[in-house]
Structure 1
Amino acid sequence: MLAQLITLNNLTSESLNISKSLFKLGRDPTNDKQLTNNKISFLHLQIEFEESQFTILDNSINGTFLNGKRIGKGNKVIIQNGDTIHILPLDRVQPEEIIGFQFLTDKIKDSRSHSDEIQSINHNKSKDEIVSKLNTHNQQFEELADELICTICNDYLFEAVTTNPCNHHFCGACLSTWLEKQLHNDCPNCRVSIKSIMIARMMNNLVEKWLKCNPSQNKTATLMAKMKEENLIYKNPNYYLNFQEEYAKKNQNQFDQQNESDEFLSNDDDFDDNNPQLYQNQLVLPNNAVQFQLFNPPPPQQIQPVQPCKSCNGQVWKQYQCTDIQIHIGCSSCGRLMPKRLLSKYLSFNLSAEQENEQLQMMCCICKVYDCKFYYGDCNKPNLNKLMLVKDIRDMVQIPQNFINNVEYQRIINHLKDNQAPFIFDFMMEHYINKGDFYFEQNKRTFNYPLQDLNVKITPDTPVCWQCHRKLINFIIFKYVQSQKYDEPIFSYPDCFYGINCRTQHWNQFHAGKYNHICEQTKFH
């Protein structure tokens, strides 16, 4: 054995042994090591041992990086003991997608003689130290996975919810079943009284990304359908936002109903003759006449004056002032409360599009995370969840590298020719979004393992958060290609049955070029 490549991420590759003078790595199965990621070139790199030194030749399009610096396609440089080799740029891939290795060998000394070659960092670490570091990394990764476990069912969270004030996470179905069986609304973990329950969308995103890396740990479709049915929190989220108050009202109503059920009207023989109200407005009639007992009508109830909301201190926002019974929601960034003004089906028919947008511009149209930017004018502590309007994301539109697959990516690039990616956005805005004919669709036909089905109408003034805007841009590109299929010959290939979710397209170049994969999945196992 000449050298070793110690993996830096067990999720993407295992450690490799280099036992011959020319070692090739890439997506083609004829290489010494095949990596199936579609972003990797057919022959990505090759490591050669000659004249008592190792060199690495970069043949890739997306890049090979030595100690954090790009080598460049066609360039050959010397690699030494302890150098780090990364495939694909670190700033463009998710942490779980990183492909990296530590180069170890005892055949050469750690020195470089040419100033124009890439500088390397001499780690001077033994193999035992590196293995120890990797074990620590794997242990930390497992500890992260433990945070995604529901303590009620001891499985990965599904439709996660979080309890306030203790901030523990559970499956929505598990917590719903727990609360129905308990006499008190206590947290299953710490037994603290639950004041409110909210949908944990960020936790759902983490679980979704984790399960993409570990598909074998997905729940069965039957179990997911059962848990969706049992999840009362997702079905009625407004009730659980002020859970402590609603729970107290529910118990009081049950108590009142029980007391009312104990009251009854006595028979005439047992009637209380000493009741003075019984003889008010009594009529004296002949003995043979039917007697009627008249009662004074109850006094009209006094209308209580509307009390101003304590959360808003009587302030008026967008010509709206909420009352003390208004439901409020906290901003996901700064925590500031704002009235939760969701439209009912009846009211939506009586409002203009501008008034409707004013009421709905408080949460992301995709992940439904709340933000106070458009409600109060600005957010106190904006973070990655900050909102923007759809019409403002034009300059962010880019064709992702190898969109769907590298064949579809080249078709789109060839179709655009001299036009830039925002051309697609302008076309969809003019012909669909401005006319109210564009809907963001998230289901098993258009996404792999969607946490929930969505069908959201998108307008120029629809808000979308920073984390979801890329998903919306990709769907706009997806719909654009579908609209051009019958007008543009470059897109007029027969649709694959598995569409955008096809697995074969990523490793079979012939299949990817023969069919169109920018389409919905129509065949399921």
Structure 2
Amino acid sequence: MVEVGEGSGVKPTAEIWAKLAVPLDPGYSDIEIRSDETVVCSEVSSSSVEKREWCKISRNLDLVSATIRNESSYTILADDAAIQNEETAIIKCGSEIIPGPDREGYLSYRFEVMPFPDSSPKQIKICVDVEHAKCSICLSIWHDVVTAAPCLHNFCNGCFSEWLRRSQEKHVCVLCPQCRAVVQFVGRNHFLQNIAENILQADSSLKRSNEEVAHLDSYASIQSNLVVKAGKRQTRKRIHSLVEEETELPCPQCGTEIGGFRCNHDTVHLQCQACGGMMPSRVNTFVPQHCVGCDRAFCGAYWHAQRVSVSDSHPICSRENFKPISERSISRIPFLAHEKNRVEQDVTEKCIRRMGRTLQDVMTEWIAKLNNREIDRTRMPLNHAEMITAETHLCNDCYEKLISFLLYWFRISMPKHFLPPDASKRENCWYGYSCRTQHHNVEHARKRNHVCRPTQGNNV
């Protein structure tokens, strides 16, 4: 049976971006693919007008490849790989596709991506939420944007210049008006200024009046990159209010010596990602202040080592948010495990129960293997993977990523007889852990094992 293909449901005026060519038989026409999703039909016989859907081809975001889905009840071949009903595969320019289970009796198509009609460079459009392009002082779209460092918050030049002037008159150091971190440097940001101008062009209702702009420009004093120096405290006859004290003292060690250390006007402060509180940035302390997995700052371990407890004036987060791997425990399989494939998570949970063990027992064993460098860390989804040991401090998010990574190796190394019967009989998915179908097609997730390395696709 020879099958002739054609695209269906396509506007004839649409641009052709790909085609299925028939290089070995010039008697048949190529199938032109015009829409981003095209269902390909075939004639049942040369004398019949009946059509039958045999595949759907969807254009991928990279614009040079596509996803083919088997819409027929029988196997089709793509680059000699068998695709069952409702299964998908990635095809690229030059891929050979046969609308049947073997080469005999079926046409051989070659997938070809058409060249772009316009190869000139195109501008990349950046979408920005308007609320994220507003100055936190005046609450309007940035005007003549400046960026404060090291916190990297952005303000209008006039707004921040006035804040800077008043801060240096009244306080020892200049604090960011948005996060209260000590500002050490400020400079104009031309990139963000272009974004602000594009927003105002798109929505003129967000523009300020000419009088407002002129008034704002009259305050602007930052013309180039500026190192912010500590100001001089003025002598005051009245007692500082509690609000002023909190503004001037970002952390408990500002103004008070604790653990042999006291902040001065040059001390750079870090903002905790868990509680939002501040702590001094100290490079000469043995207590970690940054998570090795994500490089974010967390204050729990630092203030615990300084024996500082929670107070009303300074937020301090729980030590449970940031502590060594060896001191942590786990009672449930993380949502991220097995690429968020719930079927594989259930299989792993059943395996652990069949072994008469707990998740914590298994993880203790595999953390020891990690510590002894018995595991390949190439795919570990954490920064500085080679530095991580059982004594490394991690935040809660990074700890769950580590557990998910170790659960993959636990399953990879497990003999098949430990798997539940329905799971042990499954064949591996060609795309392994990188399969995109496993996330939205439960039937495919049950039918194929995805805790394996890819044998096809970009991750091979």
Q: Structure 1 length normalisation: TM-score?
A: 0.34
Decide which structure has greater helix share: 1
Q: Structure 2 length normalisation: TM-score?
A: 0.38
Structure showing greater radius of gyration is: 1
